[in-house]
Structure 1
Amino acid sequence: MKHPVATLPGLAASPPVSRASRMRTGARAVASVAACVCVLAGAAAAHAADNPVRMMPVDAFLDTLGVVTHVNYTDGAYLNVRNVADDMAWLGIRHARDYTPGPSAPFASYAYLAQRGVRFNFLVRSNIAESIELAARLNTEVPGSIAAIEGFNEIDNFPIPYRGLTGQAAGLAAQREIYTRVRGTPELKGVPVYDLTGFDTRTVESRADSADYANQHAYPQNGNQPTYNSPGGSWIPAAIYSVKKFNLPIVITEFGYFSMPQSGWYMIGVDEPTQAKAVLNGYLDSAVAGVKRIYVYELLDEKADPQNKSGEMHFGMFRFDNSPKPVAYAIRNLTTILKAGTARRTKDPARSTLPYTLADMPVSANSLLLQKKDGRFVLALWNETQIWDRANGKPVTHPPARISIDFGASVRHVDVYDPLVSAEPQASHRDVRQLPVDVPDHVILLEITPADTPGT
């Protein structure tokens, strides 16, 4: 079954792509859409200095970060549930997507993770009633541990029968039962329902009484960047656009790259440093686009694959032996930088806007303004130039883009961070109004202390 093609007015767009469809069913033509970055409206445009730019609180951004786990895979790396908890705490991520407890994984494993602060988006198993009962039980034992309930996964790849129905009709009907049962379960009061994945969104006009959040998967192909590629697919924007008509908030419950370098065409693996760049960019891209949460596939390499025979075994942020890949270090650095704060010595409210101008931003570049609780701002910048040579199976690094930032007035302090390198500043500037910055093909962070920031 083909995935829906998301089309912007006047543009051909690439279809949202599931991991399974690319890994298991082979290739399909992908349309070029160099201009599709316009979905993230104004993200790469310069900000006018007389129009202060509002920001996203750091805590709200951190709450968008999720990761897929497979606690039910007890024949590989996920057998050690303590590693799962430790790794998520080390990363600074608390949201996990997994199946509800089942025959292969004891309820106690999920309870342990919940007690360690993990919040689950639970995928429903074929026994809908049992799945929701188990989710309710966990949410009772560890209040707040259930962040969402999600419908069936990729029904185009994993079809399910339902009350005499088959195919898409079965999945859509089952989703309505899931929604009704969650709404009727007191222990899950307030828990949102994510839609199922793998149905043709073009043929469905409404998700009323079926889902609180639209849901898609986005797996960039050919070593593409998550959002901007010229030529190439526009993966996260296309996934968003395909469900925009439902007028629901959106989650992306699978997104990622496997770190097994490949050449050729379709579902191309990349090396570990390139995986780190692309995943970091994807986390930021989705936040800019207003995605409520994005779950990177996945936390651990599931099984050992020393001869690199299966890309499926290399999606992890951690290798099979639980050693962190560059992507894990990058995410830890990102969350460490964002969580670091200074004590405030005043109760005066911090300003919630920062007037600034970005000049000479390429169309492939993007930005996101965040604010810490202590009043300081963090401006994230990244430029989605080509990062992988699919013909030769090698990483590509383009020169950074030199842009200019005007803060509208002198700011007290600017620290520049590169999460791929360290959680420590790579450069520091004091009492500056204008600052030239080299923006690479991955996220860098500018921590900005305005002159009037109280108590810092």
Structure 2
Amino acid sequence: MHSVATSHRLLTDTASSRHASHPKRTRPFGMRTIESFAAGICALACATAVQASDAVHAMPAEAFLQTLAVVTHVSYTDGAYVNVHNVADDMAWLGIQHVRDYAPGSSIPFSSYVYLAQRGVKFNFLMGADFEKHIGQVAKLNTEVPGSVAAIEGPNELNNFPVAYQGLTGASAGLAVQRDLYARVHGVPELKGVPVYDATGFEPKSVETRAASADYANQHVYPQNGEQPLWNANGDKWMLAAIHLGQRFQLPLVITEFGYFSLPQAGWYMLGVDEPTQAKGVLNGYMDAAAAGVKRLYVYELLDEKPDPTRKNDEMHYGLFRNDNSPKPVAYAIRNLTSILNANTTRRTSAAARSTLAYTLSDMPESANSLLLQKKDGRFVLVLWNETLIWNRATGTPLASPPARVNLDFGEKARRVDLYDPLASSEPLESHRDLRQLAVDVPDHVILLEITPANTPGT
């Protein structure tokens, strides 16, 4: 189980003080070094700093794709997740491998987890105080399908769902569980190399170190009031605040819950937006996290769990897919994104592609950001997005801001530049040939510029 309120409660150090006094809302759960994180935060905060002389190192596209993850509830047998074939098909259709779910228990057959693992699903298994009951099943799965267990995570949102353990209660009990879970996982040969994600929902300032307790810091981020994940003019920087807290323990960071539900809402401290706005926020969040060095971001969640004909139950609208398994705009957008990044041309295997691109971005507003990726065939993909207002919380309706005109100089002539909008299509919306400079309209959501430099070999 988990809570929307956790993200807010964890962020009160850096968010506006008006947030801290507002009543909290709850809902059921359903590698880099500190220096790298600091560099990522600078990139997020200083997007206008790219200079013509800078040779920007690209993140491999396949590494970026491994940061994309989603929450599932395979153990829920009274809703959409009962059909594990749909779960596997949906994950393959999206182009995502990583899920976060409860450890195997008695609610569904163990063979269902094996089936999903054989279909390519890689699990982060959530554990509680009863972790000893589940470790054996997790180890068994990783033996039957090697590499299917990507991580094991400690107790979920201790501030909302406290545990009791060895006579302890409250946060001290949860932290004791985390410490013993860490030792247990790293002592099981079948789980050798499997990292342990930290518990969530404890007060970081009350803990000096996570040594011998976690391999990754762990946070939850739910942008509230229909705001963007990172940059908002009123000073709310939801994801950035989580990144700062993750830095405290000098550990790489994962975000194991993030998202918006697609039930439009007005007011204050709400999370509901319409389906197109959900798509914008989720894609922007994936990019913000990768640009800041977050190892993996798990979007909540894959499926709308149950029907909600009266449209009054927030919990039934977080899915990338509706309850009838039809894709929402966010699912199409993710599929388009992964399809674009996975599409490669044939190139000579002997030809070595450079991994840097020197380019200039001019007139980037403070709210905009960029991320340079590189595909296996050597082509670069420059991702641009501008986190302007996307939701009117007073009226509960979407907002559209004019795009920012950004000037791009490649430093040398590019053989080809294709512009993609994953919210619209996996096909290029524009194609340009033999140019050095290009003016680009950057909207409130992710767009991609696929760049083939003039000297790219073998393409």
TM-score, length-normalised on structure 2? Answer: 0.93
Instruction: List gaps (5 residues or longer) in structure 2.
Output: 29-39
Q: 1:118 to 1:208 in 2, by over 3 A?
A: same
Displacement of 1:231: 1.1
Partner of 2:379: 376
The SS at the match of 2:248 is helix
Which residue identity does 2:10 align to in structure 1?
A: P
Correspondence 1:31-180 to 2 at 5 A: 40-41=43-44, 43-180=46-183
The SS at the match of 1:331 is helix
Partner of 1:338: 341
Q: Is the 8 A contact 2:45 2:366 kept in 1?
A: no
C-alpha separation between the residues in 2 aligned to 1:102 and 1:353?
Answer: 47
Q: 1:113 to 1:14 in 2, by over 3 A?
A: farther
Check if 1:260 corresponds to 2:263: yes
Displacement of 1:43: 4.8
Q: Is the 8 A contact 2:128 2:177 kept in 1?
A: no
C-alpha separation between the residues in 1 aligned to 2:136 and 2:24?
Answer: 31
Q: Deviations over 1:311-351 (max 9, x none)?
A: 11100000000000000000000000000000112412101
Displacement of 1:215: 0.1
- Of 20, 25, 28 in structure 2, the residue corresponding to residue 22 of structure 1 is 25
Identity of counterpart residues, as a percentage? 66
Q: Is the 8 A contact 1:14 1:238 kept in 2?
A: no
Which residue identity does 2:152 align to in structure 1?
A: I
Q: 1:14 to 1:404 in 2, by over 3 A?
A: farther
Q: Is the 8 A contact 1:382 1:444 kept in 2?
A: yes
- Of 4, 7, 10 in structure 2, the residue corresponding to residue 4 of structure 1 is 10
- Of 363, 368, 371 in structure 1, the residue corresponding to residue 366 of structure 2 is 363
C-alpha separation between the residues in 2 aligned to 1:77 and 1:406?
Answer: 48
Aligned length: 440
Displacement of 1:309: 1.2
- Of 414, 423, 426 in structure 2, the residue corresponding to residue 420 of structure 1 is 423
Which residue identity does 1:170 align to in structure 2?
A: A
The SS at the match of 1:430 is strand
Q: Deviations over 1:109-157 (max 9, x none)?
A: 1111000000000001442112211110100010000000000111111
Displacement of 1:106: 1.9
Which residue identity does 1:111 align to in structure 2?
A: V
Which residue identity does 2:347 align to in structure 1?
A: R
Q: Is the 8 A contact 1:43 1:288 kept in 2?
A: no
Q: Is the 8 A contact 1:72 1:101 kept in 2?
A: yes
Partner of 1:222: 225
Q: 1:5 to 1:67 in 2, by over 3 A?
A: closer
RMSD in angstroms over aligned alpha carbons? Answer: 1.9
Partner of 2:455: 452
The SS at the match of 2:395 is coil
Displacement of 1:40: 4.4
Q: Is the 8 A contact 1:5 1:13 kept in 2?
A: no
Q: Is the 8 A contact 1:220 1:267 kept in 2?
A: no
C-alpha separation between the residues in 2 aligned to 1:328 and 1:21?
Answer: 29
Partner of 1:327: 330
C-alpha separation between the residues in 1 aligned to 2:391 and 2:314?
Answer: 16
Greater CA deviation, 342-351 or 354-363?
342-351
Which residue identity does 1:59 align to in structure 2?
A: E
Displacement of 1:428: 0.3
The SS at the match of 2:383 is strand
C-alpha separation between the residues in 1 aligned to 2:186 and 2:71?
Answer: 25
The runs of at least 4 consecutive aligned structure 1 residues that moved more than 3 Å come to: 4-8, 11-16, 37-43
The SS at the match of 1:23 is coil
Q: Is the 8 A contact 2:11 2:238 kept in 1?
A: no
Q: Is the 8 A contact 1:214 1:251 kept in 2?
A: yes
TM-score, length-normalised on structure 1? Answer: 0.93
Partner of 2:395: 392
Displacement of 1:105: 2.0
C-alpha separation between the residues in 1 aligned to 2:381 and 2:18?
Answer: 32
Displacement of 1:384: 0.2
Q: Deviations over 1:258-283 (max 9, x none)?
A: 00001001023000000000000000
C-alpha separation between the residues in 1 aligned to 2:436 and 2:154?
Answer: 50
Q: 1:14 to 1:181 in 2, by over 3 A?
A: farther
C-alpha separation between the residues in 1 aligned to 2:450 and 2:25?
Answer: 39
Partner of 1:317: 320
Partner of 2:34: none
Correspondence 1:182-221 to 2 at 5 A: 182-221=185-224
Q: 1:432 to 1:311 in 2, by over 3 A?
A: same
Displacement of 1:50: 1.3
C-alpha separation between the residues in 2 aligned to 1:204 and 1:132?
Answer: 26
C-alpha separation between the residues in 2 aligned to 1:340 and 1:360?
Answer: 30
Instruction: List gaps (5 residues or longer) in structure 1.
Output: 26-36
Correspondence 1:420-439 to 2 at 5 A: 420-439=423-442
Partner of 1:235: 238
Displacement of 1:22: 2.8
Q: Deviations over 1:398-456 (max 9, x none)?
A: 01000000000101000000000000000000001000000000000000000010100
Displacement of 1:74: 0.5
Q: 1:14 to 1:96 in 2, by over 3 A?
A: farther
Partner of 1:304: 307
Which residue identity does 2:284 align to in structure 1?
A: N
Q: Is the 8 A contact 2:334 2:422 kept in 1?
A: yes
Q: Is the 8 A contact 1:49 1:355 kept in 2?
A: yes
Q: Is the 8 A contact 2:380 2:450 kept in 1?
A: yes
C-alpha separation between the residues in 2 aligned to 1:38 and 1:140?
Answer: 38
Which residue identity does 2:100 align to in structure 1?
A: R
Q: Is the 8 A contact 1:14 1:233 kept in 2?
A: no
Displacement of 1:242: 1.4
